[in-house]
Amino acid sequence: MNIIILGAGKVGYHLARQLIHEDQHVTIIERDSHRAKQVSNQLDCIIINDEGNNLDVLRQAGLDKADFFISVTESDELNMISCGLASSYRNEVFTIARVRNIDYSHSAMSSRSLMGINQIINPEIEAAREIAKSVEHGAMSNVLQFNNTELQMLNLAVPRESSMIGQSLLQVNQTIGVTFLVPILMRDRDYIIPDGNTKFREGDLVYVIARESDFDVIFRFFRKPKVQINKIAIVGCGHLGCYVADYLVSNSEGESSLIGKLISRLTRQEQSGNLHLIDADYEQCKYLSERFPTAQVTHADITNEEVWEEELLKNFDLVISSTGNQELNLITSMYAKKVGVLRSISLVQTRAYKNIAESLGIDVSISINNVLVNTILKIIRKGNIKSIHNISGSPFEIIEFALSQSSSLNYQQIKNLKLPKETLIILVTRGEENLIPNGAMALEPGDHIVVIARKDSIKKLETLFGVG
């Protein structure tokens, strides 16, 4: 595919790097000469140092044969204008714009064409969705949900003095007593695809796939028992914090609210005090009081030493740190854990800070940039690729394919497939069955297949699975 990316900031850079790994033809337009030079030294693609709202520049970038035009600059206006310009010149190009100031959280706007833009993505809404999904699962870990199956993937650290230390994956599997898979683990910043003989070490970050109903047993084995979340505090209630609160207290489908589900055993009077919103801006607090009348709102600057001394966060089950300062979010989450808060969620900007958060013992860390890149990649994917999940900081991804009725892989045994190096089929869903595959298993039409592979193998897998 031919893809034009406007903006070489962190999102544009990581998106381009991923696509280049997949052997896609990428052209980047970046107005800042220093940044353009920096990126040209790091990425093997065409870099044009110019303005993106100029039709001549877009044509120079290859708009006449582009499949996608993606604008991810820091300016909403520029992103929308450049996408509109690209679409008006050539209607066949699929345009994607990063826009922060459009709220489509309760509408279908994200999938409708606006000003010639095929897809609008608000990164804060996408991040809020991830946070809400994590809350719904008890804020135990980052949650990855697969399609067409009840299986989920969570990441858990091997605790100090754990009985797992020194045991092989096969031994642990036999000891726990429930079925689970470990497709990958992180050890000393290296990522390993384990086999049955791989032995666990203290501090290993283990990615576990299992049924949701079996995770209670697995959590106990990792010394992280599931807890009842009743009282939630959101620190930093700008746009993103408000979107998270929206997911917690309301539901556009008319179903019970998420926080209502979490605390359904409480009376209506008790429920009114179970969401607490904290923000440093007084006018924003007034707005929050009007928008969320059932929540408690506190005007407080979390950076103020007196706030810490008052132990404002002490009595909560979950603290969500969603200020615009990722360092402050990490500190707030760490402090919350120190004073006895059971679970913490921290919003960060970059993958590097996400890895830091995990190493500090913060239960869930959501990288807004990572979420945005993954959202765009899912839009770009087509054909029989149903979903793709990035494992933050690693060279691997988990991809979900569906075999069509006419696939050349139908009725072939897995051992005979010419899979790229370091590629592993970890799960096959067939109808209502979740099957752990072996080499002798033959694939069948309609199989839903979950594969872990290196990012630079994606294009080969697309060819193998007939994605066109």
pLDDT, residue 178, reads 87
CATH 3.30.70.1450 assigned to domain 141-221? The reply is yes
Interval 66-102: pLDDT, tens: 999 999 999 999 999 999 999 999 999 999 999 988 7
Average pLDDT of the segment spanning 9-36:
93
Interval 318-350: pLDDT, tens: 999 999 999 999 999 998 888 889 899 999 988
Q: Which CATH class is domain 230-371?
A: alpha beta
CA nearest 75: which of 143, 160, 163, 9? 9
Quote the CATH superfamily of domain 382-464. Regulator of K+ conductance, C-terminal domain (3.30.70.1450)
Q: Is 105 helix (H, G, I), strand (E, B) or coil?
A: coil
Interval 102-131: pLDDT, tens: 765 444 455 446 677 899 999 999 999 999
Interval 265-311: pLDDT, tens: 333 334 445 899 999 999 999 999 999 998 999 999 988 877 777 77
Q: For the purposes of burial, counting CB atoms within 10 Å of the CB of 6, is it exposed (0-12), middle (13-18) or buried (19 or more)?
A: buried
Sequence ranges of the chain with CATH classification 3.30.70.1450: 141-221, 382-464
Buried b / exposed e over 318-351, threshold 16 CB at 10 Å, is bbbbbbeebebbbbbbbbbbeeebbbbbbbbbbb
pLDDT, residue 354, reads 84
pLDDT band at 439 (very low <50, low <70, confident <90, very high): confident
CATH 3.40.50.720 assigned to domain 2-121? The reply is yes
Query: Mean pLDDT for the chain?
Result: 85
Query: CA–CA separation, 62 vs 157, rounded Å?
Result: 46
Residues in the chain: 468
Average pLDDT of the segment spanning 26-34:
97
Return all residues near 99 (Cβ < 8 A) that are at least 6 apart. Answer: 76, 79, 80, 120, 121, 122
Sequence ranges of the chain with CATH classification 3.40.50.720: 2-121, 230-371
